[in-house]
Amino acid sequence: MRNREVAELLYETADIMEFQQIEWKPRAYRRAAQNIENFGEDIEKVYEKKGKKGLTEIPGVGESIADHIAEYLKTGKVEKFEGLKGKAPSGTAELMEIRGLGAKKMKKLADKLEIKTMLDLKNAVKSHRIRRLSGFGVKSEENIARAIENYEKSHSRIPLGKALPLAEEIISGLKEELKNGTPGLDLSRIIYTGSLRRLKETIGDIDILAEAEEADAGKIMDAFVSLPEAGQVVSKGRTRSSVILKEGFAIDLRVVPPESYGAALQYFTGSKEHNIGLRNIALREGYKLSEYGLYSKNSGERIAGKSEEEIYRKLGLEYIAPELRENRGELKAAAKNELPELVDAGDIRGDLHMHTDYSEGTESLETMIENAEAMGYEYIAVTDHSRSQRIANGMDIETLKEQWKEIKSLSKRFRIKVLRGSEVEILKDGSLDYPDEILKELDIVVGAVHSGFASSEREMTGRIITALENSHLDILAHPSGRLLGKREAYAVNFGKVFEAAAANKKIMEINCQPSRLDLNDELIFRAKNYGLKFCISTDSHSVSDLASMRYGLGQARRSWLEKEDIVNTYPYSRLKEVFKKLRD
């Protein structure tokens, strides 16, 4: 999949064009890049199959950009871009990442101080050459110095599993602070927005929105900048403040009056592309939409703004859940009342992948069962590692049989159904890590790859397909093997894997571990097109992990999945039909 690579090239080209003060083109290039990044199919395959015409079917890609992409896919470079590169400093793309530096300032720094790279910029700061430049001052120079520091500390994104608890902590701290001293403030209307509310797998920075009358806004801002977690205060105003947390993450807080709360929530939740689409619809309908409300274009009269629901309704659209707001067709679907009925936390009836201290989990079988039952689940599958996973204390056949005995005896004391499962290693040749007579005794076999990540695409694809053709395997666990920010997905042909899975009626796992989220939203979307069903599983190694169901659920919702697509929303009686070997 080279979408990310092609998008990166277009982003970089946009930066260079912007540096040259070229108008509009950078916007067009960025839009194309964004859409390619979010495009479900492999752009290289699209080009192979349908040629240039296939490329121009991607929104934002026209004749000219399609030609450039084709040239890039064929030759590895674009002649025109090579020429452009010479017209901007070599470090332009990286330097534009520095907060507060845009094209205009960059140009001045390059022209007057010959700053071409991050190192040049650092040196210029150190020798105080920037403060002497017209248009800059001591403060600008200091801000650039800090921005460089922040860039180097945390330009990588925050995983959802870290950002979400962090935002919840900040918000509850804020509420605690405000509870005393500001009566009349509606504390339920402090909420995280942005990519976090859309539950993207990683978050750039955390955005928080609060509702307050003007008189109370100052108090919220004061409470915010004095939170114990806050490190450096980047800016503080009446409606917006920005701090950098001690651990390096940026958090923005905005305060809006009640009549604008819905409009602001909509606006700051984004995505940017969704909002642009929505604003265009508003314009077409004779309205003007901003973060303050929906207004009539002619009279300027306010039409809506208190709630998001109201805004979407007035624009003739169904309410669009935050996870869908990526401009991937949700606006058109909403106009036709064809949005999916997204799977919801309340639909989940069980968890089909977890570990105990029989292998690498930290809790006993009994504790896991107890806690799963307390969560209201109808069933769980206990899936400790198979024997070849020595590093994870994989179980030999005897230990596995002991576990079955314990499950049987514990089952008498609990209401919840406990299924005998195993996370079985898919070996190098595609065979499974227990003999057939053991596999057929298991209620659920979760197959997984934990070795040989460097295999060729052909080898890995063959290995996984062989496993999918094995009648004993039920679920393919973390199908891509990626670890967020650490390890790329292994080389595998997902088209072929999904095809084989569909032919053999296998279930694709959506693994909830924050470092995995695997399948990711794009692959889920693709897999669904093959008619596949999914399970959302926590792969818990401890009791607290059981709560990470929400991260996988978020990815499922981002991929438009409905209850019906996900087998662990089925009642036990129906689950039995899916996993035929299940007995009572």
Where along the sequence are the contacts to DNA (CB under 7 A)? 23-25, 27-29, 31-32, 56, 59-66, 96, 98-106, 131, 134-140, 143, 194, 205, 207, 235-240, 250, 252, 268, 272, 275-276, 279-280, 283-284, 288, 290-292
CB of 334 to DNA, least distance (A): 16
Both tokens of 53, joined, read 């015409």
CB-nearer residue toward DNA: 326 or 423: 326
Helix, coil or strand: residue 24 = coil
Helix, coil or strand: residue 496 = helix
Query: 446 phi and psi, to 5 degrees?
Result: -100, 110
CB of 142 to DNA, least distance (A): 8
- Torsion of the alpha carbons at 219, 221, 225 and 228, rounded to the nearest 10: 50
CB of 90 to DNA, least distance (A): 18
CB-nearer residue toward DNA: 23 or 341: 23
CB of 70 to DNA, least distance (A): 12
Alpha-carbon distances of 428 from 433, 434, 470, 522, rounded to whole Å: 10, 14, 14, 27
CB of 24 to DNA, least distance (A): 3
CB of 463 to DNA, least distance (A): 40
- Report which of 374, 464, 450, 386 is spatially closest to residue 414, judged by C-alpha positions: 374
Neighbours of 542 (CB within 10 A): 16
CB-nearer residue toward DNA: 311 or 546: 311
Angle between helices 3-19 and 63-75 (to 10 degrees): 120
CB of 525 to DNA, least distance (A): 21
CB-nearer residue toward DNA: 278 or 444: 278
CB-nearer residue toward DNA: 65 or 372: 65
CB-nearer residue toward DNA: 240 or 413: 240
Which distant-in-sequence residues (6+ apart) come within 8 Å of 202 by Cβ?
157, 158, 159, 160, 163, 484, 485
> Rounded CA gap, 328 and 70, in Å?
23
Query: Given strand 190-192, what is the order of strands in its sheet?
Result: 190-192, 206-211, 250-256, 240-245, 230-236
CB-nearer residue toward DNA: 27 or 401: 27
Both tokens of 299, joined, read 């009279």
